[in-house]
Amino acid sequence: MEAAVRKIEKRKRDQLRLIKKFALSIAKKNTIEEVVWDVVENVISKLEFEDCTIYLLDEKSKTLIQKAAYGSKRPKSVLIKSPIRIPLEKGIVGQVAISGKPIVVNDFSEYKDKILKGEEKVSEIAVPIILNNKVFGVIDSENKQKSFFTSDHLYILETIASIMASKIILLKAYNTLKIRSRKLSVINSQYRQSAFVISHDFKSPLANIQGLIEIYKSNVELNKTSENDKIIELIESSVDKLVVRLDDINKVIKASAVPHKSARNINLSDSLAKVKMDIGLQIRNSNAKILEDFSEVNTIKYPRSYIESILLNLLTNAIKYRSEDRKLVIRVKSQQVDDYMLLTVKDNGIGIDLKKHGKQLFQLFQRINHKVEGRGLGLNIVKTQVESLGGKIEVESEVNQGTTFKIYLKDLVVNEKS
């Protein structure tokens, strides 16, 4: 009896020791990708499984996507070029995702209908990863031996799944704070920049208006009515310029103040069609040809006003800086690059000397070509909108060859829940 008790106690100590190792290892990871890869590698090395795969649920497509896989059938790699996709309810993994409960199969000869095409296995264990009472993913392992997976394995994997969930919640919270912090930083930067513009750019016209008013008062005393009519025109002109500049600053501030809760599932083709309609006259007058390719990614959860503003500013920018030597062609393309949706807008216009103008390209009220009409707002607004929600912007250009803007956007359904 005592021997049996000691055996049970030793088993529990071994379990706790193993779980502690997993917890300490996971705690050091900084991204969800690092967490899932750490778990599959540790499952193989510490539990001596043949393989281990982690699938994460993609809510958009209602499929489980392979994010990490390691073992005898899958050599170690942090890059899965063609991840396995399992529809919900398909196979053991799909059933676990639907039910939110673990499944252990000791002998698949009794479950032929549960084996997906191309699979070869005898036993399997699948455990859900639950976040906020929802299935976030599944830890899965297969084995060639019957009844390989024990109640100890189930207990350990369920505990690991729980630790993973806690860590992922922390990472998501941290990422949310980073996004909001970055947004506040961008907004603060815009306010500081706007304050500088107000103090610098407004000083001269305001002084001019004050001077004109003093002359006007003097002319009233001298009864110089005709001269005062001209002075009134000059004052009105200066005031109009100040109003335009204030309106510009207001646009920049508003560009960084769209609430995150306005994010919706946006169809890129529809948004581009709307923008093309809005600037239809400019497109016709410039004889521009706009080619789109949204075959890889056509939807993103994002504020609609941001997406359409980004497209509007980049298209009108391409039209403004078109070459007179060739027909303007603008290519708009989207693709998935790691955790970003990459939106590319490429033109064959006059191009930019980035060595000379690169630093001022996105600065407020900075124009690199004064022969072209504009107020230096568009690219600054695009940069503000993109960076305020965790994205980034890059530019490639060559004089007389054209310009490519690369906009990396974060799908907000992944990074922050409002």
pLDDT tens figures, 384-398: 888 878 889 999 999
Q: Is residue 55 part of a domain?
A: yes
Query: Which pLDDT value is given to residue 334?
Result: 95
Query: Which pLDDT value is given to residue 183?
Result: 63
Q: How far is the C-alpha of 95 from the C-alpha of 386, rounded, in Å?
A: 39
Judge if 317 and 415 occupy the same domain: yes
Q: How far is the C-alpha of 104 from the C-alpha of 1, rounded, in Å?
A: 30
CATH of the domain at 171: 3.30.450.40
Burial class (CB in 10 A: 0-12, 13-18, 19+), 117: exposed
Q: How many domains in the chain?
A: 2
**Residue numbers of the domain that contains 375:** 259-418
Last residue of a domain, one of 176, 197, 220: 176
Query: Which pLDDT value is given to residue 415?
Result: 41
Judge if 144 and 285 occupy the same domain: no
Q: Is residue 232 part of a domain?
A: no
Using alpha carbons, list the distances in angstroms from residue 6 to 1, 13, 156, 308: 9, 10, 20, 68
Cα dihedral 32, 35, 36, 42, rounded to 10, equals 180
Judge if 284 and 409 occupy the same domain: yes
| Mean pLDDT value of segment 371-386 | 70
Q: Is residue 242 part of a domain?
A: no
pLDDT tens figures, 26-46: 888 888 888 889 888 888 878
pLDDT tens figures, 104-136: 998 877 665 555 555 567 889 999 999 988 999
Judge if 300 and 163 occupy the same domain: no
Q: Is residue 240 part of a domain?
A: no
Q: Is residue 270 part of a domain?
A: yes
pLDDT tens figures, 142-158: 888 888 898 988 998 99
Query: Which pLDDT value is given to residue 242?
Result: 67
pLDDT tens figures, 272-328: 999 999 899 999 999 999 999 999 999 998 888 889 889 998 999 899 889 999 999
Last residue of a domain, one of 155, 176, 197: 176
| Mean pLDDT value of segment 56-75 | 80
CATH of the domain at 280: 3.30.565.10
Last residue of a domain, one of 143, 176, 209: 176
Q: Is residue 196 part of a domain?
A: no
**What DSSP letter does each residue of 204-248 carry, written as one string?**
HHHHHHHHHHHHHHHHHHHT-HHHHHHHHHHHHHHHHHHHHHHHH
pLDDT at 339 over 70: yes
Query: Which pLDDT value is given to residue 31?
Result: 87
Query: Which pLDDT value is given to residue 79?
Result: 61
